[in-house]
A and B are shown apart, each in its own frame.
Chain A
Amino acid sequence: MPAINSLKTLTATSVLLGLSGLASGVASADYSDEVVRIGVLTDMSGIYTDLSGEAAVTAVHMAVEDFGGEVNGIPIEVIHGDHRNRADTGASRAREWYANEGVDMINDLSNSGVALAVAAVADEQQRHAIVNSASNIGLTNDYCSPFVTHYTYDAYSLAQGTGKSIVEDGGNTWFFLTVDFAFGIGLEEQVSDVVREAGGQVVGAARHPLDTTDFSSYALQAQASGADIIGIASTGADAINAINALAEFGVIPEQRPAALLLWYDDIVSLGLETAQGLLLTNAFYWDANEETREFSQRFYERTGRMPNMAHAGNYSSTMHYLNAVEAAGTDDPTAVSDKMRELEINDFFATGGYIRPNGRMVHDQYLWEVKSPDESEYDYDFLRPVHTIPGEEAFQPLEASSCHLLDND
């Protein structure tokens, strides 16, 4: 009997606690549990740690501090977690955060697989998710949600940036080295479309497994294809190894590589000697102007590294979310979502940026070229601007989106 008794007590206590929770919820209906809680869900220990990871958490902290640590008198809290590059781990962590830990918004979300899984949870739980470090355009198409924002870049903008520029520059025939999963194949498709539209030709592709270390045989296949351009539809370590192998086997400079998603950090890793002349589409570069330098300097002092576009996007999107909460006077997800889509984004990251109904944040993208070692004058002086791709061109036209929130049928 004691067991049953204690069970009863426990049940009664939970009911009471639940009721008191409800009561306090009613008392301050404007802000759920009297705190605005932001979760940074990122890769803290795997292959994408350098692209977001710990530094992404710092970027979000910086935004909260710069905002003043509270919104309309309500404190802002930041927590973080590791998705280990597994969609299931990411989704269950997100569900726990939203449902049990009162997280109002999840940021960063590197890895397209994780981002798609968390977006589904955000939609179901009606809480916010902002994707800064993944590229899959499904987030603003079939899997779009009023609560999901795709902020920094996507596969479409990469194709419009690097792909289009190279075709216009006379790169007529293309051969792809593609990482064999949704991200690489999607990117290859986007760029192939751009190439064909511009009258170019795709002569072939080699698919390699994720995390391939030896690209030598792919380098030979690329060489044998005779294509002008070797399109590298992968990122991080895979892209670095591919470029290294192309250089080693003398494929470069006879044929030109086009790294379709290259990060600032990849340049650090490749070294300017190998990377010089590469083109990359990035939404942000630390040394672009006075404002970016100011932010980057502060970021550098905290982390010992320069921010990449995902870090800058994490900062900017957190700021935008908090501005929306402040303007709405509540953290109610629907009200905040409306405000986020209403307010314009003007900071060091974006000028005149705005969020479309399908969740796509539209802002200018930039094509950069990697400097040669001789041109680089100081530490981290790596990139030269080539041209700006206006936001409206850089992102998929709204009428082409298959998002169910639009009337595109």
Chain B
Amino acid sequence: MDIFGIPIQALLGQLMLGIVNGSFYAVLSLGLAIIFGVLKIVNFAHGAFFMLGAFTAFLLAQYMGASYWVTLFIAPLAVALFGMLFEFLFLRRLYGLDPIYGLLLTFSLVLVLEGGFRVAFGSSGQPFATPEQLRGTINLGFMILPIYRGFVIAAALTLCLITWFIIERTSLGASLRAATERSELTQAFGINVPRLITLTYGVGVGLAAFAGVLAAPIFHVNPSMGSSLVIIIFAVVVIGGLGSIMGAIVTGLGLGVVEGFTRVFYSEFSSTIVFLVMVLVLLLRPAGLFGREEG
């Protein structure tokens, strides 16, 4: 059976790949959405933290012989701590100012990190082995899926759901949302808002680093691996609606699929399609698909 001259098997294959890519978009845009929601900072360094996650995993594996599973936990934690330190020392001073300052500061961090890693490790990238347990492929009938890619979908979606649950369904999440809406009032209730904000930034950064570790065996670990992604991630967050948690997750997955299909029908357009969708969404629903119009 063919759809527009493309065998349905090929389409199903692309759908599956779209979901894999969408999983990365989901985790990354989730982190970005949380940070924007709480800090009102446009975190341009998100891609750099993604790269930092992959590099930390690479360094842990290379120099300390850490297994993939250890790096999957340690690397995001280490990068989150670094992010919190960055928030505590620098970013904190920019709250309340025009968002452009935050954007400039985080962008400069990108330049420093990417430049530093390029000097230290070169621009062509470092190989990162797929963990042994997840090597090989499964034949799904319509496509051959590498086991590791299946793992990426499972790990990314689990993490997204856990994050969504914590923010939307627990008391910690409730304080966080309260701090976002009315920070002074929340402080009056005895909640340490600055600490909560640092923690939030750490979580957002940690999510990016987690995606980086997941990506390391698929894409090469190289200094600019995050910069090509970060623009798409911004588009995802804008399409989903700034600050919307579920919006970021669903839009991330959805756009991964749309991009996958575009590769079948008109490959040259695949890097542009996300932005076309963004233009359409901004024209029709300026607050994004899941965003609320602010009154």
Tell me the A residues contacting B by CB distance below 8 Å: 45-51, 53, 180, 206-209, 211-214, 216-218, 220-221, 223-224, 236-237, 240-241, 244, 248-250, 265-266, 268-271, 274
Contacts and interface: CB of A to CB of B under 8 A. Distances in A.
B286 interface: no
Contacts of B137: 249-250
Interface in B226-241: 228-229
A49 B122 contact: yes
Contact of A217 (B14, B123, B146, B219): B14
Nearest to B219: A213
Contact of A220 (B10, B218, B222): B10
B260 interface: yes
Contacts, number: 96
A241 B128 CA distance: 12
Nearest to B225: A213
Contact of B21 (A45, A51, A214, A268): A214
A220 B270 contact: no
A237 B125 contact: yes
A217 B122 contact: no
A376 to B, nearest CB: 14
A51 B125 CA distance: 12
Contacts of A208: 267, 270
Contacts of A213: 219, 225, 228-229
B220 A248 contact: no
Nearest to B121: A50
Interface of B: 7, 10, 13-14, 17, 20-21, 115, 118, 122-127, 130, 137, 143-144, 146, 148-149, 218-220, 222, 224-225, 228-229, 260, 263-264, 267-268, 270-271
Contacts of B122: 49-50, 265
Contacts of B268: 180, 207, 209
Query: Mostly helix, strand, loop or mixed at chain B's interface?
Result: mixed
A48 B123 contact: yes
Contact of A214 (B10, B143, B219): B219
Contacts of A51: 124
Kindly name the residue among A48, A53, A220, A266 whose own CB sees the greatest number of chain B CB atoms within 10 A: A220
Given A206-B267, A211-B224, A224-B10, 20 more contacts: A49-B118, A207-B268, A208-B270, A211-B228, A213-B225, A213-B228, A216-B17, A216-B149, A217-B17, A221-B10, A221-B267, A236-B124, A237-B123, A237-B220, A240-B125, A248-B218, A250-B144, A265-B124, A268-B124, A269-B125
Contacts of B143: 220
Contacts of B20: 216
B124 A241 contact: no
Nearest 4 A-B pairs (CB), nearest first?
A: A271-B127, A217-B263, A49-B123, A50-B124
Contact of A209 (B21, B229, B260, B270): B270
A220 B126 contact: no
A274 B124 contact: no
A213 B215 CA distance: 10
Given A180-B268, A217-B263, A217-B264, A237 B13 contact: no
A248 B138 CA distance: 11
B118 A270 contact: no
Nearest to A263: B124
Nearest to A270: B127
A124 B220 CA distance: 42
Nearest to B222: A237
A269 B127 contact: yes
Contacts of A49: 118, 122-123
9 contacts: A45-B118, A209-B271, A213-B219, A217-B263, A221-B264, A221-B267, A224-B10, A248-B149, A268-B124
Nearest to A46: B123
Contacts of B267: 206-208, 218, 221
Nearest to A209: B271
Contacts of B17: 214, 216-217, 220
Contacts of B220: 237, 240-241, 244, 269
Given A241-B219, A249-B146, A250-B144, A269 B124 contact: yes
B142 to A, nearest CB: 10
Contacts of A241: 219-220
Nearest to A223: B144
Nearest to B220: A240
B117 to A, nearest CB: 12
Contacts of A212: 271
B262 to A, nearest CB: 9
A108 to B, nearest CB: 15
A219 to B, nearest CB: 9
A249 B228 CA distance: 23
A50 B263 contact: no
B59 to A, nearest CB: 16
B170 to A, nearest CB: 34
A47 B10 contact: no
